[in-house]
Structure 1
Amino acid sequence: MGWLMSEVNRAVTKRVENAEKCFSGEPDFMRYSFHHRFNPETRKHLPYFVATIKEGLRMHPPATTLFARVVPKEGK
């Protein structure tokens, strides 16, 4: 999940002030960001987060490398 969020929200992860707040453990930033656990009920209040996850999965589908694509000799 972490790589997905950093891939889709690259602009957010590149902002120096957000990274500094996150890694320094600034109480207000951490409390706002990570205070509540994510559950299906929480999802209803986070439409941007859900859209971000869906966009990340659209850009990088998890099952593409699981199935080999073999082209038959006929080419069909």
Structure 2
Amino acid sequence: MLSRISAKRCQRPLELNAAAMLLAHNYSSWVVQPSRPDEPLSQAIRSAQSLVDMQLLDHFIVVAGLL
């Protein structure tokens, strides 16, 4: 279930023959919990990367104003 945007963003690490990747995206709200689609997206990317021996190290959510 990779969205078109997610697949496009995963293309560059493949081109670079990267061994691992970090995902990060922002939320405009102050919600610091992953949204409903975040976990399945991480799992789908992790599964796809395992086919090319690439590891997903982490999936960060950035929220404005919180440190």
Q: TM-score, normalised by structure 1?
A: 0.25
Higher radius of gyration, 1 or 2: 1
Larger RCO (CA under 8 A, 6+ residues apart)? 2
- Structure with the higher strand share, 1 or 2: 2
Higher share in helix: 1
TM-score normalised by the chain length of structure 2: 0.27
